[in-house]
Chain A
Amino acid sequence: MRAMDLARFNFQVMVGHRFRTIMLMIALIIGVAAVNLLTGLGEGARLFVLGEFSFLGKNTLIIMPGKKETTGGMPPITGEAPRDLTLEDMRALTRLSAINRTAPLIAGMAELSYQSRLRESFVVGTTHDFFAIRKLSLLQGRALPPGDPTFADAVCVLGQTLKRELFGPEPALGQWVRAGDRRFRVIGILEGKGVAMGLNFDEAMLIPVASAQMLFNQEGLFRVFAEVRSERELTPTRNAILSIIKERHDGEEDITLITQDALLSSFDEILRTLTLAVGGIAGISLAVAGVLIMNVMLISVSQRTAEIGLLKALGASAATVRRLFLSEALLLAIIGSLIGLLISESLLAAGRLLYNQIPLGSPVWVKVAAVGVAIVTALLFAYLPARKAAALAPVEALTHKQGP
């Protein structure tokens, strides 16, 4: 039997048994659409989270005070070291040729006020280079001035939201904001960057690190960022940093060094596993569709017993009959899974329109796998009915006196 004839024959069967065809197709559509949709959602969420957290370049090392003697797991969030990580430590690191630039970070909460407006807000003490490392861009004005980090200049850069809350629509550049017992002149407004790792720069005020040390009355740094020239030099530089700090800290290795990749890869792994799990659960609906296919096909075989007998009498071999039933399942699976893909892709596209910051969408291999699994399941579960049909003795099949 020719492929075209086979397709036409099956198409006639499918149109002839519309209700059955539609039911089976819906099962397949739901299965494929669920797999594609759920992995699309999971993948979108994963990329969104990764995007949120990848605020640093690939080559940036994060240095924190304190050492956790454990392998794996999250690094300590707060410093627990007996010895502070100081600006002098940071300056010592700058001598390493592989390090492009460094930036310190001190953070704390402070009460900010401008005229009658009052805000409890996040204050970050850092330097000029932090803007480059953290890829912060400015909406207005300029960044913190370069130069000696120990110089406590009374200037600040405001996050967008904070600026709006303190100043409203009025211009803020050149105005003085009070923080605790100090005043800072606004020299720049940050462009919105969203939340990243719990630090919402939209609601933060950035001041020179020395000013922050005075404001919070704290010598030790919370973090030091070191941007390494190339990814290749990451490991040797890491070792160099450790030995420099060890030397400066009385031979004690009391800092923790992490890269963004190390941080992100654990997130990535968790989210990927979650996505796969959700997709796998959706995949079960495909197996359910498979069972439905088997049952409906078994009924179909007994309904079409006379027809099968006739086909055999007309010279159809067992192989031909088997092929007829398998190809019907194949056709159903192909059409059903394509419709399922189409529906889920349109839903994902609609989702992207509604929430444009979340990159909803499943990877290509998931689409291929969903269609593949649908087809394999259909063929697998149709095999038993097809074999049953093929094994029907023509004489028994024909004695089912039916038909016009």
Chain B
Amino acid sequence: MSVANRSSSSPSQLKSAEPVVALHEINRHFQLGEQTVKALDAVSLELLAGDYVSVMGPSGSGKSTLLNILGLLDRPDAGAYLLNGAPTQDLSEEKRARLRQQNIGFVFQSYHLIPRMSARENIELPLILAGTAPKERARMVSEMLERLGLTARASHLPNQLSGGQRQRVAIGRAIIMKPKLLLADEPTGNLDTQSGADVVTLLEELNTQGITLVVVTHDVELGKRARRQLRMVDGRIQSDLRQSDVSD
């Protein structure tokens, strides 16, 4: 794998590609007592297939809200969100759930594994929710465990796994449905340096295989690894740098 090679060539390659995500003038406001907080203020953004984007900014700048909107977990108050070219903002909750299931994977800082389920079962969960046949499921999960190097830990419960292993299980769960878009919220926030590096390597590897990766982070080092770096302040995208612009 070579991050440097790809990063210099891919922006031009992908310019012509259909955007996976297109946000137009997205507003998301919260009412805090008398005060209206503009978590997202007329944000427009396009993400192309295979993009590697980091979102940085101070706390309360709207990073997480942006991620929630992108992940169809939250609805914008105004504006349009096109996923694979199709508008989503007016879809029913059921249809949005279906889109999440088919297109979007989530990785959280605190893993959000279900404690009573083994590593294997946690990874299997999206397939179960989607109603995949048990045989097919077993095959896919075994392959995933193999790929994550967790085969020996398959039957361990989350509290019997290290932080790095837990996050790898969470990533396995996020990509088992082969989504186009992978959203990671502080994926290394709870990990030591080594485990964090392993997780980042895994995520970047997935990106080189074509997945669109969005990482929200406070970690400047991690943020700088992305080919495209967004910086948010007060609900607006303050800067949108591409690796080529930075390094060139």
Contacts and interface: CB of A to CB of B under 8 A. Distances in A.
B110 A15 contact: no
Contact of A404 (B94, B97, B98, B159): B159
A12 B115 CA distance: 11
Interface stretch (A99-107, A291-299, A392-400): A392-400
Interface string A301-313: 0000011011111
Contact of B114 (A310, A312, A313, A320): A310
Interface string B165-178: 01000000100010
A314 B126 contact: yes
B116 A1 contact: no
A404 B102 contact: no
Contacts of B116: 12-13, 15-16
B93 interface: yes
Contacts of A398: 73, 108, 112
B209 to A, nearest CB: 21
A401 B64 CA distance: 13
Nearest to A310: B112
Contacts of B126: 314-315
B114 A316 contact: no
A3 to B, nearest CB: 10
Contacts of A314: 100-101, 106, 125-126, 129, 173
A315 B101 contact: yes
Contacts of A109: none
B97 A1 contact: no
B129 A316 contact: yes
A298 B177 CA distance: 31
Interface string B63-105: 0000010010110000000000000000001100110111000
22 contacts: A1-B131, A5-B128, A5-B131, A9-B128, A13-B116, A312-B97, A314-B100, A314-B101, A314-B106, A314-B126, A315-B100, A315-B102, A315-B129, A316-B97, A393-B73, A393-B74, A394-B74, A401-B110, A403-B112, A404-B111, A404-B113, A404-B159
Interface residues of A, number: 31
B130 interface: yes
Given A5-B128, A312-B73, A320-B129, 4 more contacts: A309-B112, A394-B73, A404-B115, A404-B159
B208 to A, nearest CB: 25
Contacts of A1: 128-129, 131
A318 interface: yes
B97 A315 contact: yes
Nearest to B67: A395
B50 interface: no
Interface string B211-248: 00000000000000000000000000000000000000
Nearest to A391: B93
Given A1-B131, A318-B97, A395 B73 contact: yes
A401 B186 CA distance: 13
B169 to A, nearest CB: 10
Interface of B: 68, 71, 73-74, 93-94, 97-98, 100-102, 106, 108-117, 125-126, 128-131, 134, 158-159, 166, 173, 177
Contact of B98 (A315, A393, A402): A315
A319 interface: yes
Q: Which 10 A-B residue pairs are closest in the complex by CB-CB distance?
A: A315-B101, A16-B116, A317-B97, A394-B73, A404-B158, A395-B73, A395-B74, A395-B68, A314-B126, A317-B94
B193 to A, nearest CB: 20
B115 A317 contact: no
Q: Which of B101, B108, B117, B129 has the most CB of A within 10 A?
A: B129
A317 B96 CA distance: 8
Nearest to A6: B128
A402 B110 contact: yes
A313 B129 contact: no
A2 interface: yes
B160 to A, nearest CB: 10
Nearest to B112: A310
A403 B94 contact: no
A311 B129 contact: yes
A126 to B, nearest CB: 77
A352 B18 CA distance: 79
A2 B125 CA distance: 12
A306 to B, nearest CB: 6
Contacts of A312: 73, 97, 100
Contacts of A315: 97-98, 100-102, 126, 129-130, 177
Contacts of A9: 128
B117 A12 contact: yes
Contacts of B68: 395
Which of A5, A15, A318, A401 has the largest count of B CB atoms less than 10 A from its CB? A5
A317 B98 contact: yes
Pick from B93, B110, B114, B134 the residue with the most CB of A within 10 Å.
B114
Nearest to A312: B97
A187 B101 CA distance: 93
A4 B128 CA distance: 10
B93 A317 contact: yes
Interface in A367-404: 393-395, 398, 401-404
Contacts of A316: 97, 101, 129
A402 B158 CA distance: 13
A2 B124 CA distance: 13
Given A315-B101, A315-B126, A404 B131 contact: no
